Homo-oligomer: A and B are copies of this chain.
């Protein structure tokens, strides 16, 4: 329930489970928006989302199996005008296409004034957002503490659940 008129700030508890460039935006945008509103924010990075804590974010966009990507819209939104709209699904499986799509998305987001994922992450840290790496995922995939940025902590599912129990809003992204 909202506590906007009480003493304690609202709290947002997020799980970031996806590692592609496009899906990196929602958790960071929500986290920084909430942080800028004075909320307490914690983001638990797990599964594929754990890669978003690496020093250099290497996330890629995948148009494959994603027919809702704007580049497949018939009327062609201006942000993607330089894409060949008739690219068939099969062509998207060509090696290298992912990096093309990623570059276009990065450029589009930059042109429109949306901060790149790395900048959003820096902003989150500056706003005091708690970034938590999932211990179990680290063990399973072989990550080490030094693979990640210094501003993050390490925790487990119990850490997230205890934090989320006191949150006004909890979301699994």
Contact = CB atoms under 8 A, between A and B. Distances in A.
Interface string A22-37: 1001100110011001
A150 B36 CA distance: 31
Contact of A89 (B64, B109, B166): B64
A156 interface: yes
Chain A interface residue number, banded: 35 or more
B68 A20 contact: yes
Contact of A62 (B65, B79, B98): B65
A93 interface: yes
Interface string A4-44: 10000010110101111010011001100110010100000
8 contacts: A12-B161, A13-B169, A15-B171, A64-B64, A88-B95, A90-B93, A108-B140, A112-B140
Interface of A: 1-4, 10, 12-13, 15, 17-20, 22, 25-26, 29-30, 33-34, 37, 39, 46-49, 51, 58-62, 64-70, 72-74, 77-80, 88-90, 92-95, 97-98, 108-109, 112-114, 136, 139-143, 156-158, 161-162, 164-173
